[in-house]
């Protein structure tokens, strides 16, 4: 007896049978217990609350750091003003914009050397 390739009807019947087996297997699966669903929802709510608290804490820390930085800059400006009033020559502090401009200039010079 020779090997016979399955024709369309054979393949179609096999596909229908496979779909039916999958559907039967899905129907056999028991429904999820409502207590389990409630526990999952409670765990998800707890995770979301923890994440929200973490975000809020990070925002508070960032605000505190920003305030401390501003206070430090103000104190440095006040000290420079007091030194200028006293007749002392104080080395002026560079602002962030000046530091960034210097850094950008160094970067551009390094790129120009590579070309």
Q: What pLDDT, in 10s, does the model give residues 53-84?
A: 999 999 999 999 999 999 998 998 888 888 77
Banded model confidence at residue 94, pLDDT cuts 50, 70, 90:
confident
Tokens of 31: 């429904």
For the chain, the average pLDDT equals 89
- In this prediction, residues 88-94 reach a mean pLDDT of 67
3 part of a folded domain: no
Separation between Cα atoms, residue 74 and residue 68, nearest integer Å: 10
Q: Which two tokens stand for residue 113?
A: 């050397």
29: which DSSP letter?
S
For residue 56, being part of any structural domain is answered with yes
What one-character DSSP code corresponds to residue 87? T
Q: Is residue 14 part of a domain?
A: no
Q: What is the pLDDT of residues 24-59, one digit of tens each?
A: 998 888 888 999 999 999 999 999 999 999 999 999
In a domain, 76, yes or no: yes
Q: For residues 1-8, give the mean pLDDT.
A: 80
Rg, C-alpha atoms of the chain: 36
The total number of structural domains in the chain stands at 1
96 occurs within a structural domain? yes
Q: Assess if residue 78 is contained within a domain.
A: yes
Closest CA to 59 of 51, 70, 45: 51
Residue 86 confidence class, pLDDT cut points 50, 70, 90: confident
CA distance 74 to 80: 10
pTM to 2 decimal places:
0.45
pLDDT confidence band for 1 (50 / 70 / 90): low
Domain membership flag for residue 22: no
- Residue 54's domain comprises 33-114
The alpha carbon of 102 is separated from its chain's Cα centroid by a whole number of angstroms, namely: 31
- The answer to whether residue 8 sits within a structural domain is no
Local structure of residue 33 (DSSP, 8 states): P
């Amino acid at each position: 007896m020779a090997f016979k390739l399955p024709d369309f009807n054979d393949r179609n019947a096999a596909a229908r049978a496979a779909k039916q087996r999958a559907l039967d297997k899905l129907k056999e699966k028991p429904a999820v217990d409502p207590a389990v669903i409630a526990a999952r929802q409670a765990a998800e709510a707890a995770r979301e609350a923890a994440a929200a608290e973490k975000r809020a804490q990070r925002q508070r820390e960032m605000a505190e750091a920003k305030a401390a930085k501003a206070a430090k800059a103000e104190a440095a400006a006040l000290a420079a003003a007091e030194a200028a009033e006293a007749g002392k020559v104080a080395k002026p502090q560079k602002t962030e914009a000046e530091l960034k401009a210097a850094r950008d200039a160094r970067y551009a010079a390094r790129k120009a050397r590579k070309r």
